[in-house]
A and B are shown apart, each in its own frame.
Chain A
Amino acid sequence: MSGWSVTEPSARSKWIAGTLVVIYTVITLLPLVWIISTSFKSGPDSISYPPKVFFQPSLEGYVNLFTTRTRLGAEDFAALPPPETWYERIVRQQGMVIAGPSRFGERFMNSVIIGFGATFLSVFLGTLAAYAFSRFRIPLKDDLLFFILSTRMMPPIAVAIPIFLMYRTLGLSDTHLGMILLYTAVNVSLAVWLMKSFIDGIPREYEEAALIDGYTRFQAFRKVVLPQAVTGIAATAIFCLIFAWNEYAFAVLLTSGKAQTAPPFIPTIIGVGGQDWPAVAAGATLFLLPVMVFTILLRKHLLRGITFGAVRK
Chain B
Amino acid sequence: MAEIVIRNLRKEFGDFVAVRESTFTIGNGEFFMLLGPSGCGKTTTLRMIAGLELPTGGEILIDGEDVSRKPASQRDIAFVFQMFALYPHMNVRRNIAYPLVSQGMPRAQVAAKVAEVARLLRIEDILDRPVGGLSGGDRQRVALGRAIVRNPKAFMMDEPLGALDAEFREIMAEELRALHDRMGATTVYVTHDQLEAMQMGDKIVVMNHGVVEQFGTPQEIYDHPATLFVADFIGQPAMNFLDFEGSFAAGDTSVRLGQAEIALPALRETVEARRLVLGVRPEHVGFDDAAPFRGRIEATEYLGTTQVVTLSTPNGPLKARIPSAESVRPGETVGLRFTASTLSLFDRGTGRAFRTAANENVHHG
Contacts and interface: CB of A to CB of B under 8 A. Distances in A.
Q: A and B: real partners?
A: yes
Interface of A: 203, 205-206, 208-216, 219, 224, 227-228, 308, 311-313
B200 interface: no
Contacts of B133: 311
Contact of B85 (A205, A227, A311): A205
B146 A312 contact: no
A312 B163 CA distance: 13
B52 A208 contact: yes
A215 B52 CA distance: 13
A213 B52 contact: no
A187 B98 CA distance: 36
Nearest to B78: A212
Contact of B77 (A212, A227, A312): A212
A152 B55 CA distance: 40
A227 B75 CA distance: 26
B85 A209 contact: yes
Contacts of A211: 51-52, 71-73
Contacts, number: 62
Interface in B100-135: 102-103, 132-133
Interface in B258-285: none
Task: Give 3 nearest A-B pairs by CB, closest first.
Answer: A205-B85, A214-B102, A213-B99
Main secondary structure of the interface of A (DSSP, over half): helix
Interface in B26-60: 50-52
Nearest to A213: B99
A214 B73 contact: yes
Contacts of A214: 73, 99, 102-103, 150
Contact of A228 (B50, B72, B89, B99): B89
A29 to B, nearest CB: 37
B351 to A, nearest CB: 34
A203 B83 contact: yes
Given A214-B73, A216-B73, A312-B88, A205 B81 contact: yes
Interface in B58-90: 71-73, 75, 77-79, 81-83, 85, 87-89
A227 B46 CA distance: 28
Given A208-B52, A211-B72, A213-B98, A224 B77 contact: no
Contact of B79 (A203, A209, A215, A311): A209
Nearest to A311: B132
B41 to A, nearest CB: 18
B88 A308 contact: yes
A313 B83 contact: yes
B52 A206 contact: no
Contact of A206 (B72, B85, B102, B150): B85
Contacts of A219: 102
Contacts of A228: 88-89
Contacts of A212: 50-52, 72-73, 75, 77-79
A228 B71 CA distance: 24
Contacts of A311: 132-133
Given A208-B79, A212-B50, A213-B146, 4 more contacts: A209-B85, A212-B77, A214-B73, A216-B73
A14 to B, nearest CB: 34
Nearest to B103: A214
Given A212-B51, A213-B146, A214-B73, A203 B99 contact: no
A194 B32 CA distance: 43
29 contacts: A203-B85, A205-B82, A206-B87, A208-B72, A208-B79, A210-B87, A210-B98, A211-B52, A211-B71, A211-B72, A212-B50, A212-B52, A212-B73, A212-B75, A212-B78, A213-B98, A213-B99, A213-B102, A213-B150, A214-B73, A214-B102, A214-B103, A214-B150, A215-B102, A216-B73, A227-B89, A228-B88, A311-B132, A313-B83
A227 B71 CA distance: 24
Contacts of B85: 203, 205-206, 208-209
Nearest to A209: B85
Nearest to A206: B85
Contacts of B88: 206, 228, 308, 312
A208 B89 CA distance: 16
B92 to A, nearest CB: 15
A136 to B, nearest CB: 13
B88 to A, nearest CB: 6
A205 B132 CA distance: 16
Q: Which of A208, A212, A227 has the most CB of B within 10 A?
A: A212
A219 B133 CA distance: 26
Contacts of A227: 89
B145 to A, nearest CB: 12
Q: Which of A211, A214, A215, A308 has the most CB of B within 10 A?
A: A214
Contacts of B98: 210, 213
Nearest to A220: B73
Contacts of B87: 206, 209-210, 224
